[in-house]
Amino acid sequence: MSRRKSTHDSRPVRVVELYGKDLRWESAEPHLRLTDETVARLTREGYTMALVRVGLWRTRRVSLIRHAQRLS
């Protein structure tokens, strides 16, 4: 039986690091997921980018500003 692939719609990706407040990368709080509410809160706090885990060994940089613009 083949393994079912998960989609980003089924479970939000996990945020590993955040960039923006002091113009440096900071560790994110544990178990933080990239949801619409999280993006709104992080942009209000002054963060602009997030490093998210998309696989076991892979990460990707996501612009929180673009993500927030897509929501509105």
- pLDDT for 5: 61
For 8-47, how does the pLDDT look when each residue is reduced to its tens digit (9 = 90+)? 567 789 999 999 988 999 999 999 999 999 999 999 999 9
- pLDDT for 12: 87
- The pTM score is 0.79
- pLDDT for 6: 55
- Dihedrals phi, psi of 38, to nearest 5 degrees: -65, -40
Exposed/middle/buried for residue 25 (C-beta within 10 Å: 0-12, 13-18, 19+)? middle
| 41, 16 Cβ separation under 8 angstroms | no
At residue 69 the predicted structure's pLDDT band, cuts being 50, 70 and 90, is confident
Exposed/middle/buried for residue 24 (C-beta within 10 Å: 0-12, 13-18, 19+)? exposed
H-helix or E-strand containing 27? Answer: strand 25-27
